């Protein structure tokens, strides 16, 4: 007779955020580890770039076409089973003023096209995001998840996010103590603990993923043990990290490495599966094929 594994003893739950009909967090166990009413399914977001970058992966250009237009991509995403839609406002530094003007012009149209809950992301450049994220916070016509603030930007960005009632993603570099410190610092500035999502930062496959995976697990364990400053839901932008790898964006490999179209998707799927197993509450993907595959694993409802 097979020996039964010991049940995980749970004294607390991960903080639950109710966001436009979605339940983010609220789990009393790692997803799929226990079959009970307290298990919270991970939510999947599809992320769209506002513009194509110069080195945008070929597999994703095939997905959207060479003549990319953000509003067309948003319309297409409306028919897909993603729980959330993430827009990455990847401002081009050599034409910042023109890009800001275009964002201003397109934002209202984006909000009219999509009814899906939205994640609005910055450039990941502090100098730009200190101007961009407050703009997005003020121009948004409904509550959004805005990503991200960190130790060098939160004082400039946070006031507009609080004033406009948005949910804030806080990023720290793969360190549980820094995550707690940032949560304390931002709540001292007036941010509601129920409007915090933790971004533990991440690497793609390899050492970065392994270390990131362990940090997610530790965050969950500490949160479930009762730490009120670390029991927030967790978001992972695994699509971005996966397609940084040359194996996922380069076609310059021998056939022994496998077909590029399949290899690139498998790279993202492997990373996403790992962070879901670790307990991530929102997983942000870049590929529609990855989204459809993972939805089939998790369940459509």
Query: Can you give the pTM of this predicted structure?
Result: 0.92
Q: Which domain holds residue 292?
A: 24-296
In a domain, 13, yes or no: no
Question: Got the DSSP string for 57-125?
Answer: -HHHHHHH-SS--HHHHHHHHTTS--SEEEEE----GGGHHHHHHHHHHHHHHHHHH--S-EEEE--S-
User: 178: number of CA atoms within 13 Å, CB side?
Assistant: 13
In a domain, 14, yes or no: no
In a domain, 158, yes or no: yes
Model confidence pLDDT, tens digit, residues 145-159: 999 999 999 999 999
Q: Which residue has the higher pLDDT, 139 or 4?
A: 139
Model confidence pLDDT, tens digit, residues 106-116: 999 999 999 99
Q: Say yes or no to pLDDT of 5 above 50.
A: no
**CATH code at position 274:** 3.20.20.20
In a domain, 249, yes or no: yes
DSSP at 245 = S
What is the chain's mean pLDDT, rounded? 89
Number of domains present in the structure of the chain: 1
In a domain, 17, yes or no: no
In a domain, 18, yes or no: no
In a domain, 11, yes or no: no
In a domain, 266, yes or no: yes
């Amino acid at each position: 007779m097979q020996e039964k594994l010991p049940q995980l003893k749970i004294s607390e739950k991960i903080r639950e955020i109710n966001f436009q009909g979605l339940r983010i967090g609220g789990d009393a166990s790692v997803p799929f580890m226990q079959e009970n009413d307290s298990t919270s399914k991970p939510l999947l977001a599809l992320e769209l770039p506002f513009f194509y970058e110069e080195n945008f992966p070929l597999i994703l250009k095939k997905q959207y076409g060479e003549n990319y237009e953000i509003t067309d991509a948003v319309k297409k995403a409306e028919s897909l089973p993603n729980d959330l839609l993430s827009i990455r406002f990847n401002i081009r530094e050599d034409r910042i003023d023109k890009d800001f003007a275009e964002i201003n012009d397109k934002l209202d149209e984006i909000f009219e096209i999509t009814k899906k809950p939205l994640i609005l992301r910055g450039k990941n450049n502090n100098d730009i995001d200190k101007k961009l994220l407050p703009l997005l916070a003020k121009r948004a016509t409904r509550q959004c998840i805005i990503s991200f603030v960190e130790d060098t930007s939160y004082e400039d960005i946070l006031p507009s996010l609080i004033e406009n009632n948005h949910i804030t993603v806080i990023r720290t570099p793969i360190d549980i103590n820094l995550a707690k410190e940032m949560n304390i610092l931002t709540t001292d500035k007036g941010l509601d603990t129920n409007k915090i999502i933790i971004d533990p930062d991440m690497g793609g496959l390899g050492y970065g993923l392994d270390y990131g995976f362990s940090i997610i697990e530790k965050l969950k364990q500490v949160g479930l043990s009762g730490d009120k400053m670390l029991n927030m839901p967790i978001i992972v932008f695994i699509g971005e990290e996966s397609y940084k790898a040359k194996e996922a964006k380069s076609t310059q490999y021998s056939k022994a490495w496998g077909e590029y179209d399949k290899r690139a998707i498998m790279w993202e799927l492997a990373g996403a599966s790992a962070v879901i197993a670790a307990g991530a509450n929102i997983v942000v993907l870049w590929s529609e094929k990855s989204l459809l595959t993972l939805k089939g694993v998790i369940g459509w409802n």
